[in-house]
């Protein structure tokens, strides 16, 4: 079955420090992976996606994610956190079981950046 897991409900980081939000996946076939961010009272915003190619994917707002096939992980990273990065982050995988493009989301990780 296609699934993603975000093992941490909450991640707390001091401003200026590097941050990592973890995600592991389980798919049949090639994984198509995404990261979205949700700010309070807002919709989801696309950050980045991995389809194929370079294992390090760069996205919006200085975020990047590293695809690791052997560990089936797709962790989101940023070298230097900002207070404005505080939000809810979702890892997602495209469901390859059908020709449709529906996405399966993880449970979300709340990122809190303290000044």
Partner 1 sequence: DSGVTQTPKHLITATGQRVTLRCSPRSGDLSVYWYQQSLDQGLQFLIQYYNGEERAKGNILERFSAQQFPDLHSELNLSSLELGDSALYFCASSVGVRGATTDTQYFGPGTRLTVL
Footprint of partner 1 (CB under 8 A): 32, 34, 36, 42-46, 49, 51, 90, 94-96, 98-105, 107-108
Distances in whole angstroms, Cα of residue 32 to Cα of each of 13, 60, 74, 100: 28, 18, 10, 13
Question: Does an H or E element contain 16, and which?
Answer: none
**Which residue, 6 or 13, is less far from partner 1 as judged by CB?**
6
Tell me which residue of 72, 88, 79, 84 sits closest to 11, measured CA to CA: 88
Q: To 5 degrees, how large is the angle CA 18–CA 20–CA 21?
A: 150
- CB of residue 78 vs partner 1: minimum separation in angstroms? 20
- CB of residue 115 vs partner 1: minimum separation in angstroms? 28
**Which residue, 15 or 22, is less far from partner 1 as judged by CB?**
22
**Which residue, 45 or 84, is less far from partner 1 as judged by CB?**
45
- CB of residue 23 vs partner 1: minimum separation in angstroms? 14
């Amino acid at each position: 079955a296609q699934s993603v897991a975000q093992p941490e409900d909450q991640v707390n980081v001091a401003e200026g420090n590097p941050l990592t939000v973890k995600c592991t996946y389980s798919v049949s076939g090639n994984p198509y992976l995404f990261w979205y961010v949700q700010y309070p009272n807002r919709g989801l915003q696309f950050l980045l996606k991995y389809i194929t190619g370079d294992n390090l994917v760069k996205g919006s707002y200085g975020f990047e994610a590293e695809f690791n096939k052997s560990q089936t992980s797709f962790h989101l990273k940023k070298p230097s956190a900002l207070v404005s990065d505080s939000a809810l982050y979702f890892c997602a995988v495209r469901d390859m079981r059908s020709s449709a493009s529906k996405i399966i989301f993880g449970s979300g990780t709340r990122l809190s950046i303290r000044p």
